[in-house]
Amino acid sequence: MTTSKPVAGALLATSITLMATTLSAGETGWPEKDELSFGFIKLTDMAPLAIAYERGYFEDEFLFVELEAQSNWRVLLDRVISGELDGAHMLAGQPIAATVGYGNQANIITPFSMDLNGNATTLSNEVWDIIRPHLPENEDGNPVHPITADYLQPALEQFADDGRSFNMGMVFPVSTHNYELRYWLAAGGIHPGYYDPAGGDTSGQIGADVYLSVTPPPQMPSTLEAGTISGYNVGEPWNQQAVFMQIGVPVVTNHDIWNYNPEKVFGIREDFAEEYPNTTVRIVKALIRAAYWLDENNNANREEAARILSEPHYVGADYEVIANSMTGTFEFEPGDVRDVPDFNVFFREHATYPIYSDAIWFLTQMRRWGQIEEHKPDDWYMEMARSIYRPDLYEQAARDLIAEGIMSADDFPDFDNEDGFKPATSAFIDGMTFDARFPNDYLDQFDIGLTGDDTP
């Protein structure tokens, strides 16, 4: 469904008056293209687009936007590449994969990161019943979290004894969900399989102990219920939907796998940004304001956001299901509700800043699992990250918002001293250290995964 706001004559006249005021404060000129169409997938982390639209932040930038739900990630990317969509809510791996030529080759950039965290891994009731007796418990009798993939071993053995493969779903081969699920499994000594595009095998199942396959996000619960898969990694609200349907149990969030990990981005074609530079900066300004509103005053606006997202033209899930994770809690089993205030982070921790370190981590995972077929030197990772993630565009938008008095310099990174790299971190479920400046050293740490000159 398409969501749009027409421009009435009175509104246009008012907009022209306001434009003069805006231009006197900021530096970005009149948008070269003001009628835009953006795509999204029905997930709660598309929220910055919905909020920028509903609260009039796009209109404040003299942009008149249509938001269109897309059937799956492949269609969404294809429509951005073809120009049918001007931009979209994207998997962080999509601009990266397109630029390096895995799948469709296209120069897609991101001037805005949409969120941190927001995913979880859910197991079927059958698998949960097998592993539950092996899990340590808190004093309240509930399982200790995070639950590592080591505890899947009894289920894998049971499936093998029954002559069944163990199948799990993820949303797309270059999705954060795929890489998070693989990371979690490998950290528990379970091989998720390799890709071999040079050899014609893009299944990602070479040498796998667990077989991962693509399932569109809204179809995850029904596919789990049908028994086609025994678990999945997906964004919200589709993990909480499994709890409400009583068909599965979330066992680990991606915040547990990597604290404050990047999730979605806003993707546009590089030639769009070059042809419409003012429009691009104004899009980013509107999205920054939306993200800020979503996290403002310790998530005080999240209930309103959940109601907006529950509308059928956005996510279309019940308000209660969306609110279960959006408002700072997460339900693992019926009644096992825990405080997870950072399950969704839209602005805090500089979530919106497109930082090179994040792009490099995704590139390392593509190499680890064979989507990048050959060893690449560290400089190559740096070059790719700089060509895809565009903090320069983000910085221009932020400086305009500061100049206009809408936001404060304290809300943003210190641009004068920012080099695009996060400090090295070991905030992973397996304790491995990631320093984006040394991607090959990072890959060398893993027992499971390609490194050096390895091939699948």
> If you average pLDDT over every residue of the chain, what do you get?
93
Instruction: Decide if pLDDT at 171 tops 50.
Output: yes
Task: Note the pLDDT of residue 27.
Answer: 81
Domain ranges across the chain: 2-117+262-317+345-417, 119-260+432-443
Domains 2-117+262-317+345-417 and 119-260+432-443 share a fold: yes
Task: State the CATH class of domain 2-117+262-317+345-417.
Answer: alpha beta
Lowest mean pLDDT of 25-29, 331-335, 428-432, name the range: 25-29
Q: How confident is the model at residue 21 (pLDDT cuts 50, 70, 90)?
A: very low
Q: How does pLDDT run across 334-346, given as a tens digit for each residue?
A: 999 999 989 999 9
Q: How does pLDDT run across 343-374, given as a tens digit for each residue?
A: 999 999 999 999 999 999 999 999 999 999 99
Task: Note the pLDDT of residue 12.
Answer: 43
AA letter at 171: V
> What is the Cα–Cα distance from 264 to 112, expressed in whole angstroms?
9
Task: Note the pLDDT of residue 19.
Answer: 47
Instruction: Decide if pLDDT at 13 tops 50.
Output: no
Q: How confident is the model at residue 104 (pLDDT cuts 50, 70, 90)?
A: confident
Scan for tokens 């091939």, then name that residue.
Answer: 455
Q: How does pLDDT run across 268-292, given as a tens digit for each residue?
A: 999 999 999 999 999 999 999 999 9
Scan for tokens 């059958």, then name that residue.
Answer: 126
Mean pLDDT along residues 314-326: 94
CATH number for the domain running over 119-260+432-443: 3.40.190.10
